[in-house]
Amino acid sequence: MTTITDVARAAGVSPATVSRVFNGGRVTPERAARVRRAAAELGFEPNRVAQSLRKQRGSVIGLLIPDIENPFFTSLARGVEDAAQQTGLSVVLCNTDEDIDKERRYLGIALAEQMAGVIVAAASRTQTDLSPLAARGMPAVAVDRRPRGALVDAVLVDNQYGGEAATEHLLRARYRRIACVTGPEGASTSEERLAGYRSALRDALADGTLTPEDGDDPLTAYVRYADFKVGGGRAAMADLLAMERPPDAVFVANNLMAVGALEVLREAGVTPPEFGVLSFGGVPWAGLVRPSLTTVELPSYELGFTAAKLLQERIAGSEKALQTVVLRTGLSVRDSTGGPHDDAEGQGRLRAPSPLG
Amino acid sequence: MTTITDVARAAGVSPATVSRVFNGGRVTPERAARVRRAAAELGFEPNRVAQSLRKQRGSVIGLLIPDIENPFFTSLARGVEDAAQQTGLSVVLCNTDEDIDKERRYLGIALAEQMAGVIVAAASRTQTDLSPLAARGMPAVAVDRRPRGALVDAVLVDNQYGGEAATEHLLRARYRRIACVTGPEGASTSEERLAGYRSALRDALADGTLTPEDGDDPLTAYVRYADFKVGGGRAAMADLLAMERPPDAVFVANNLMAVGALEVLREAGVTPPEFGVLSFGGVPWAGLVRPSLTTVELPSYELGFTAAKLLQERIAGSEKALQTVVLRTGLSVRDSTGGPHDDAEGQGRLRAPSPLG
DNA sequence: CCCGGATTTGAAATCGATTTCAAGTGGAAC
DNA sequence: GTTCCACTTGAAATCGATTTCAAATCCGGG
């Protein structure tokens, strides 16, 4: 391996000069040229480990995500990677598996490896602890989920707005018993999406679009908590279908649970859009799912990209006040929320039935 | 940050002794205890960068994969991660995007970061060049795809066998004009899967199961090369359907292209199992696809796990002869290959029609 | 021709761990 | 009591870069 000393010897200068050539120090052009030539000839590439040790800072940023198999996070990871590449940083992808211990371990590694900074989609809002990073001055940015009380920049999605828009859409499509399958209690994303759902229902109750059914609290009767995974979505959906007065639509607060819900519906012979289904976050290969699925679109790539940009500012030493960037969701209306079958009421449909029903 | 020197001072010993305590040197128990206590009190954690510099070897392994959004590779990555974790290595995931330049850049980083080793699913069989690693003594293992002429261990899938089994299955299900959509020419995986397909067809021709159609070479007429992506699968399938005598089944050589093919079939109103579809590699959320898809199952997790184990042996200094491990595929028969409709021939079906047709 | 200030340069310190080597310690054997 | 050996220990070198500091050089101005 050729070191800076080898290059120095070959160019007839000191190592210090070589270092200056590559780091923008003042060196006479003639000498600099000689150094560059020697470096090129020897195929010199600075040893990043030595650099990190000396500078007390590496050129790698850690990205901690809870589920590498969820396409939402892989897309986010791509955003981070693209942003990082622009400034010569590499990205280490760490899959925490929603496991608080694994997450802690990775944070420790980030410190021990002297990473330049970390981007964290926290495994737990209450237990994830970013304070050791802060204590050692390592920049961090929270993404998608904001851990409680952490003094870090954050890039989030407007979950409440998304939940609201989704639920309003279902109401407009004339569903009237709209269920909500949300994530774990305590996760910020679960709670916010649920809050949006409730807010939309409240509005509908207030303006008379929706009328309370006897005995049930319409804001809670159709709510189920699950685990953001396929299995949880299945269980919650099955539970909802078993109700005495089952819902006629469901707002599922994440893509994987939507997959589970769709499976259960299919097994039960209940098909959208008669039964409305709306997923928060796109399902992979959605093109194969029939009827096509109405979804709240998440800016996953931008989430990652923005977080990485923010992190880079901090790494560069920015002392700006902490900021939280909130990105908006969109709504992609497709066939799964075309509206329930007409009952005897004889009202016109808002939407033509899809060719395959 | 507490360093080894701080611990040494606190325990009243030299840094060398502290190092020995943590690296299994000979130290009197009494002293060792004092060191451990001091280390615990100060929250000492060895600086991995300094370790790497001194030992000339890091504790991170690089995993280069061509497409992080393909669930096959994420599953493989999990296998690598689990194996690595058992020995305290961390995994850096590098997404090369099938781009030979990105790949080269990442290999350079692996060297400059003094990684312990790399596992590579090569972006290109002909252009991927692992020789700089070998030159610097960095262990490497090829996974899934074997780059040409590289002197490295490899963990591969028995692609030819898988392609053969798949095609035989389609023949047994009484499809007779079986197409093959394979990957890019020159990729080992494409070629091997295609070879399996051809070998099965040849056997069928030999024993009379299949009779050559006038004018066409049955071994090539229905073969299409594509790019292992959804778009490529679409184009190839569309091309096949536009033939004068279109096929009655297709063996698609990777999961993403199968998604594309299914989309096109659906748009054309052609539905399995009348038209047989078999995918090499599972499709994510396959549960939602109807009819369910027959697939060649790939041991993606085991692929990663095995590669990581192999790499660890090399890192530990094993001088064994280079080995290539080939893992077998399985065949999961589902509804999409239930057999074509009976024509006027009045032959009995081998398989009951699926309830939904 | 000499001086002051700016610029360029290299020697040496530094980052934090590991490891070599020589010195120190203790115990057993004679 | 002396000798020898095995075992512990710490001082110092080392990994490869960056950076400080002081010396060297160059320049124009007087």
CB A91 within 8 A of CB A80: yes
CA distance A76 to A302: 7
Between residues B319 and B215, the one the model is more confident about: B319
Span CA (B139) to C1' (C14), Å = 32
CB A131 within 8 A of CB A111: no
Is the CB of residue A9 inside 7 Å of nucleic acid strand D? no
State how far Cα A269 lies from the chain centre.
Answer: 33
Distance from CA of A67 to the nearest CA of B (A): 10
A75 close to B (CB below 8 A): yes
B37 close to A (CB below 8 A): no
Distance from CA of A119 to the nearest CA of B (A): 15
* Fold of domain A56-157+301-331: Rossmann fold (3.40.50)
Q: Where in chain B is the domain with CATH 3.40.50.2300?
A: 57-157+300-329, 159-297+332-337
Q: Where in chain A is the domain with CATH 3.40.50.2300?
A: 56-157+301-331, 159-297+332-337
Per cent of chain B over pLDDT 70 is: 95
Span CA (A156) to C1' (D23), Å = 56
Between residues B69 and A56, the one the model is more confident about: A56
Q: Where in chain B is the domain with CATH 1.10.260.40?
A: 4-46
A136 close to B (CB below 8 A): yes
Superfamily of domain A4-46: lambda repressor-like DNA-binding domains (1.10.260.40)
Please give the average per-residue pLDDT across A9-26, as a whole number: 92
pLDDT of residue B318: 86
CB A350 within 8 A of CB A175: no
Structure tokens at B25: 């040197």
Cα A75 to Cα A27, A39, B70: the distances in Å are 44, 38, 11
The backbone region for A4, taken as left when phi is positive above 0, alpha when psi lies in -120 to 50, beta otherwise, is alpha
**pLDDT higher than threshold 60 for residue B347:** no
pLDDT tens figures, A326-354? 999 999 999 999 988 754 343 434 444 43
A57 close to B (CB below 8 A): no
pLDDT band at B216 (very low <50, low <70, confident <90, very high): confident
pLDDT tens figures, A125-177? 888 999 999 888 899 999 999 888 778 999 999 999 999 999 999 999 999 99
CA distance B284 to A155: 28
Distance from CA of A73 to the nearest CA of B (A): 10
Please give the average per-residue pLDDT across B257-285, as a whole number: 91
Q: What is the nearest nucleotide to A46, using C1' and CA?
A: D17
Span CA (B53) to C1' (D14), Å = 10
* CB-based burial, A217-233: b 16+ in 10 Å, e otherwise: ebbebbbbbbbbbbebb
CB A294 within 8 A of CB A273: no
pLDDT of residue A193: 97
CA-wise closest residue to A143 among A255, A308, A328 = A308
**pLDDT higher than threshold 60 for residue A34:** yes
Structure tokens at A321: 């006040």
Contacts of A288 in chain B (CB under 8 A): 259, 262-263, 266, 283, 288-289
CA distance B190 to A284: 24
Single-letter amino acid code for the residue at B156: L
Distance from CA of B73 to the nearest CA of A (A): 10
Q: What is the nearest nucleotide to A47, using C1' and CA?
A: D16
A60 close to B (CB below 8 A): yes
Please give the average per-residue pLDDT across A200-228, as a whole number: 88
**pLDDT higher than threshold 90 for residue B98:** no
Q: What is the nearest nucleotide to B17, using C1' and CA?
A: D9
Computed over every residue of chain A, the mean pLDDT equals 90
pLDDT of residue A347: 42
B55 close to A (CB below 8 A): no
pLDDT of residue A301: 96
Please give the average per-residue pLDDT across A10-20, as a whole number: 94
CA-wise closest residue to A222 among A243, A200, A202, A199 = A243
Span CA (A26) to C1' (D27), Å = 17
Per cent of chain B over pLDDT 90 is: 69
For residue B49, give the nearest of A46, A95, A114 by CB distance: A114
pLDDT of residue B310: 96
CA-wise closest residue to A59 among A115, A12, A18 = A115
pLDDT of residue A64: 96
For residue B136, give the nearest of A1, A69, A90 by CB distance: A1
Cα angle B170, B172, B175; round to 5: 50
Helix axes A300-315, A71-85, angle to 10 degrees: 40
CA-wise closest residue to A146 among A186, A96, A199 = A186
Is the CB of residue B53 inside 7 Å of nucleic acid strand D? yes
Q: What is the nearest nucleotide to B25, using C1' and CA?
A: D8
Q: Whats the size of chain A, residue-wise?
A: 357
**pLDDT higher than threshold 60 for residue A357:** no
Span CA (B14) to C1' (C24), Å = 15
pLDDT of residue A114: 92
pLDDT of residue B289: 78
Q: What is the nearest nucleotide to B32, using C1' and CA?
A: D8
Is the CB of residue A290 inside 7 Å of nucleic acid strand D? no
Is the CB of residue B24 inside 7 Å of nucleic acid strand D? no
Q: Do B49 and A47 count as a contact with CB atoms less than 8 A apart?
A: no
Question: How many helices (H) and strands (E) in chain A?
Answer: 12, 12
Please give the average per-residue pLDDT across B105-121, as a whole number: 93
CA distance B16 to B179: 68
Q: Do B69 and A75 count as a contact with CB atoms less than 8 A apart?
A: yes
Is the CB of residue B26 inside 7 Å of nucleic acid strand C? no
Is the CB of residue B46 inside 7 Å of nucleic acid strand C? yes
Please give the average per-residue pLDDT across B130-147, as a whole number: 91
pLDDT of residue A7: 95
Span CA (A54) to C1' (C6), Å = 29
Is the CB of residue A243 inside 7 Å of nucleic acid strand D? no
**pLDDT higher than threshold 90 for residue B70:** no
CA end-to-end distance (rounded Å), chain B: 68
pLDDT band at A214 (very low <50, low <70, confident <90, very high): low
CA distance B136 to A13: 26
pLDDT of residue A346: 38
CA-wise closest residue to B178 among B274, B280, B243, B247 = B247
For residue A247, say if its preceding peptide bond is cis, omega within 30 degrees of 0: no
**B119 three-state secondary structure:** strand
Is the CB of residue A27 inside 7 Å of nucleic acid strand C? yes
Structure tokens at B138: 């960095």
Q: What is the nearest nucleotide to B5, using C1' and CA?
A: C16
**pLDDT higher than threshold 80 for residue B350:** no
Q: Residue A345 — φ and ψ, nearest 5°?
A: -65, -20
pLDDT of residue A215: 67
**pLDDT higher than threshold 80 for residue A72:** yes
Q: Residue B17 — φ and ψ, nearest 5°?
A: -65, -40
Cα A184 to Cα A194, A245, B138, B196: the distances in Å are 11, 25, 44, 47
Number of neighbouring beta carbons within 10 Å of residue A201:
23
CB B269 within 8 A of CB A268: no
**B275 three-state secondary structure:** coil
Sheet (strand B60-65) strand order:
B90-95, B60-65, B117-120, B140-143, B153-157, B324-327
Positions of E strands within chain A: 60-65, 90-95, 117-120, 140-143, 153-157, 178-182, 223-225, 249-252, 276-280, 294-297, 324-327, 330-332
DSSP A28-68: -HHHHHHHHHHHHHHT----HHHHHHHHT--SEEEEEES-T
Single-letter amino acid code for the residue at A243: M
With CA atoms as reference, the chain A residue closest to B61 would be: A92
pLDDT of residue B188: 87
**pLDDT higher than threshold 60 for residue A296:** yes
Between residues B125 and A32, the one the model is more confident about: A32
Q: Which residue is nearest to nucleotide C18 (CA to C1')?
A: B54
Is the CB of residue B5 inside 7 Å of nucleic acid strand C? yes
**A132 three-state secondary structure:** helix
With CA atoms as reference, the chain A residue closest to B293 would be: A288
CA-wise closest residue to B88 among B34, B46, B25 = B46
For residue A288, give the nearest of B58, B112, B262 by CB distance: B262
pLDDT of residue A342: 53
For B57-157+300-329, CATH gives: 3.40.50.2300
The backbone region for B284, taken as left when phi is positive above 0, alpha when psi lies in -120 to 50, beta otherwise, is beta
Span CA (B99) to C1' (D15), Å = 34
A285 close to B (CB below 8 A): yes
pLDDT of residue A70: 86
Single-letter amino acid code for the residue at A256: L
CA-wise closest residue to B71 among A45, A192, A283 = A283
For residue B291, say if its preceding peptide bond is cis, omega within 30 degrees of 0: yes
Span CA (A28) to C1' (D27), Å = 15
pLDDT of residue B317: 86
**pLDDT higher than threshold 50 for residue B353:** no
The second-level CATH assignment, the architecture, of B159-297+332-337 is 3-Layer(aba) Sandwich (3.40)
pLDDT of residue A351: 41
pLDDT tens figures, B300-311? 999 999 999 999
Of B29-38, B70-79, B335-344, minimum mean pLDDT range: B335-344
Positions of E strands within chain B: 60-65, 90-95, 117-120, 140-143, 153-157, 178-182, 223-225, 249-252, 276-280, 294-297, 324-327, 330-332
**pLDDT higher than threshold 70 for residue B215:** no
